[in-house]
Amino acid sequence: MYRISIIIAIYNEKIEWMRQSIDSILNQTFSNFEFIIINDNPQRKDNQLLTSEYAKKDKRIKIIHNEQLTKSLNKGLKIAEGQYIARLDADDIALPKRFEKQVYFEGKCLFI
């Protein structure tokens, strides 16, 4: 089982933003995660190319195709295998130690 399930939805954002966001996840110092990418605009060819490119590179990536954002997010939550869930938007960038620090902090917290 993965420690963290990371869920991100992409729609019509600039491709460079989506790449930066996805790369910021794949370059984390903490690697025990699955990465669920929701392609909420599968008609957009760039989205299809981007998601398939990354899915081929990393076996932790799962792709979900459009069911409208809320339904897609709920589906992402249902298939998530991680102990914890992290949610991002396609234009968010995670610092390299984000999940390492969050998991470390969780271990020191008495009320989680």
Query: Does position 112 have pLDDT exceeding 70, yes or no?
Result: no
Beta bridge partners of 97: none
Give pLDDT tens digits for 17-43: 999 999 999 999 999 999 999 999 989
Superfamily holding 4-108? Spore Coat Polysaccharide Biosynthesis Protein SpsA; Chain A (3.90.550.10)
User: DSSP of 37-71, one letter per residue?
Assistant: EEES-TTSHHHHHHHHHHHHH-TTEEEEE-S-HHH
SS3 label, residue 67: coil
Determine whether 46 is exposed, middle or buried from the number of CB atoms within 10 Å of its CB (0-12, 13-18, 19+).
middle
Domains of the chain, residue spans = 4-108
The tens digit of pLDDT for each residue in 39-58 reads 999 899 999 999 999 999 99
